[in-house]
Amino acid sequence: MGDDASKKQKSAALRDAEIAVLKANSNLSEKEIQELYDEFKELDASGTGRMNKEQFIKFYTQIAGSDNELVLVADNVFAVFDTNHDGTIDFSEFVLAEAIGNKKDPDSALELSFALLDTSGDALVSYDEIADFMEKGIKLGLTKEEAAAIDPKEIATGIYAMFGVDKAQKLNKQQFIDG
């Protein structure tokens, strides 16, 4: 019986090897990683060490607000965080996504933007993906009256014109970053 409790405690604790890997890949301190781990454990209501989309959306709307449009954005964000596409986020994915989201250099911001735009997961961004994202962003950042006056497809058309590509073409990550 003591072995079961010991195993459960060991699996619930963050291992030194995991901390070392996460520190190397995220540029976060051990203290920051431990704080994120404590937060993640609180969010992991099932105790599985994984967060499903429903749990993530609940978390996301708690920190960003509960507007219906935020749920749509949270869905895109979840898809980016779920790097192995298994329908859940483990702690490593959570930390690495947090680290990416906190980087301040322009290329990292563009890489995150590309990942949020690429809802199909095909490593390409289509005109429709940009238009859909712009529509969600407009609804989040503006009043209903202001949002009604802006056409997300017109913005997407302008973005595509800036890249010098036709609406039927898709942008790869390098094209997007090089802009």
Q: Mean pLDDT for each consecutive 10-residue tract of the chain (179 residues)? A: 40 70 77 84 80 80 63 74 80 70 68 80 91 78 79 91 92 88
Domain boundary among 85, 102, 119: 102
Residues 116 and 84 occupy one common structural domain: no
pLDDT reported for residue 6? 38
pLDDT reported for residue 10? 37
Domain boundary among 102, 133, 152: 102
pLDDT reported for residue 52? 85
Q: Residue 133's closest CA among 113, 160, 105, 147? A: 113
Domain boundary among 79, 102, 125: 102
The enclosing domain of 40 has a CATH number of: 1.10.238.10
Residues 83 and 121 occupy one common structural domain: no
Q: What is the DSSP string of 21-75?
A: HHHHHH---HHHHHHHHHHHHHH-TTSSSEEEHHHHHHHHHHHH---HHHHHHHH
CB-based burial label for 19 (10 Å; 0-12, 13-18, 19+): middle
Looking at residue 151, its amino acid is D
pLDDT reported for residue 143? 74
What is the pTM for the complete model shown?
A: 0.54
Is 4 inside any structural domain? Answer: no
pLDDT reported for residue 126? 94
Is 161 inside any structural domain? Answer: yes
In residues, how long is the chain? 179
Domain that holds residue 117: 106-179
Looking at residue 135, its amino acid is E
User: Both tokens of residue 84?
Assistant: 């192995």
pLDDT reported for residue 120? 83
Report how far residue 90's alpha carbon sits from residue 50's, in angstroms, rounded to the nearest whole number.
4
Q: Residue 73's closest CA among 134, 154, 126, 128? A: 134
Is-contact 49 11, C-beta < 8 A? yes
* Helices 152-163, 127-141: inter-axial angle, 10-degree rounding: 130
DSSP 56: H
Buried b (16+ CB within 10 A) or exposed e, 46-82: eeeebbbbebbbbbbbeeeeeeebbebbbebbbbbbb
CB-based burial label for 130 (10 Å; 0-12, 13-18, 19+): buried
Domain count, the chain: 2
